[in-house]
Structure 1
């Protein structure tokens, strides 16, 4: 199992490096943006077919919404950065992180639904007002929150690296198989069980909130049009389908991040080495998250 993890992690790392070095990541980005535009145009045609009552229009509309969410997530986005970075930084299981990725994508769709419902029927806002608010206010806020999460992870990793008792005795005291010192009985680094413990609801709420605060512009487009057509429930279904499409990418990123982390840790000789290296990984991942999110924030200000 350990060798399989190491091999899979190495293959993923080589694949990511090849994408960057060959410029394929830029090609992928351009492809995703073009497909997103084409899908949005197809959505407008699907909405007209829905209004005309064409058979099969609803199924085609849902499929297009899912595809839009997929292409949207394949482009530059804060959700992938946060979920992937957190998965690399913390020892959280793949199923739990995948669940957080799914929940954050659906919560992002819910934000769009609430914004349009409140904007149209409570506040009387125009389409331009709502999309402008999403792009000019919610987007930089979301990036800033993601950057703060990155800084928090970096601080937590740095604090673990600088633990006083752990480093004062690290050379003089040898850890046993349970992670406790064989000389004094103290834990000089986090125990493996502590490292592997799933994060609590606060971490989950933090991750979901940082992603969900920015509604998807495609979901806003669909929700506003369907509201004007008198079929807002169809728009809600479409927004949720977009959320599932987005989740298909973020879940894959979550699994890849966990696999890379576990593959790297599996190559280490024992729990004591894992306890020493894990804070370094958390520190590095936190810094990367903060830098990437900060760059995205500056790009939309």
Structure 2
């Protein structure tokens, strides 16, 4: 406990106190110009209603805001699709990197380059590649005959989410592959030798041996990526800052906190995002029956 104390204190100062203040502000009428003079308003920012003389009930608050629910849907859809694709592709890459071949160390280092590049740099680089006038992707697809005209990938409502998913999968698949590779290298080689002697097909070996044994590593990798995907901000903000088709919970919370000077309203959205992520993580761990250290319950 003595050795852990500095880390615990640092977490409380860096993470715990801002989280507590955010939750507190969500129950007030705080604004950027008057943070310390805010008054307590209870659950008004979350959900409130007014009954008119005609008997009609008008709801207000974040939980009655269509923009918020659109952001929730965008976030959940982005997280589900991106994490699924990254898990599948990460497993494929990890299986390749786990094989013995000449130059494996160089390939491993090269695979990690997209993940090592800062997200802002990756987003800006891809924004030029996806540009409808100067982008290399449009030029390449036109030459290959895959498209008939230039496409504004990040500005088009039909392709904006797809463009963001492509960039995120390209950048984060190496992270998934790295974690799964660590699990693959823990699998004893003699199990595969015994399976080969018994004449077990490689596909059956994968589903009967590899997947069950690396399941804890996959679960941990998916949990980490799910947490990142649910709070995605920088990639969306750079590629599609004003698109309702890709606006996530973090982006809309930042808009209300800073751009619209609705600090209490934005704090409410941030608090709901925290609650949603915490609930999903707990549910995922419970359903997976796997501790973060990889042991079975």
Question: Is the structural similarity TM-score above 0.5?
Answer: no
**Per chain length, whose mean CA-contact separation is higher, i.e. which structure has more relative contact order (CA < 8 Å, sep 6+)?**
1
Q: Which has the larger radius of gyration?
A: 2
Q: Name the structure with the higher helix share.
A: 1
